[in-house]
Structure 1
Amino acid sequence: MKFFQKLSCVMLLLALVICFYYRDGLVSKPIGQTGEFAIKHEQAGYAVSLYYPKIDPTKAHQKNVRVGIIDSGISPKVGSELNIAAAYDLSGQNEPFDQTGQGTRIASIIGAKDNHHKMIGLAPNVKLYSYKVNATSRSLQAALQQALSDRVEVLALGLEVNKVTPQIKALINEYLAQGGLFFTVDQRLGQIKGVATVGAFNEYLELLESGRTYYAPAKQLALGRDGRIQTVTGNAYSTAFVSGTAASLLAQKLAPAQVKQQLATYFSPQVIEKHHNISHVIAKTFSKSDMYLGISLVILILVTAVLAVMLAIKRRKNKYLLGVSINTLLLLILAYLLVPIQANAQTMKYWILGLLVIFTLFQLYFSWRLDMTKPFSLNRLFNLSYNIFLLVFSLWLSMFVMLGYAGSTHF
Structure 2
Amino acid sequence: MSETLGQRPWMTAPPMAAVLDALEAAGGADCVRFVGGAVRNALIGRPVDEVDLATSLTPEQVTEALQAAQLKAVPTGIEHGTVTAVAGGKPFEITTLRRDVATDGRRAVVAFTEDWAEDARRRDFTLNALYASRDGTIFDPVGHGIADARAGRIVFVGEPEQRVREDYLRILRFFRFLAWYGSGPPDAAALAACESLKGEIKSLSAERVSRELLKLLAAEDPREAVALMARAGVLGEVLPAPIDLERFNGLAAVETDQLFETDPVLRLAALLPDDQIAAVQFAERLRLSNADRDRVAAALSPTPAFKSWMSPREIRRMLYRLGPQVFRDRAKLAWARAERTATTPQWRGMIALGEGWTAPAFPLTGEDVIAAGVPKGPMVGQVLREVEEWWIDHDFIDDQLSTIEKLKSVAQGMAF
Shorter-normalised TM-score: what interval?
under 0.3
- Greater relative contact order (Cα < 8 A, sep 6+): 1
TM-score normalised over the length of structure 1: 0.25
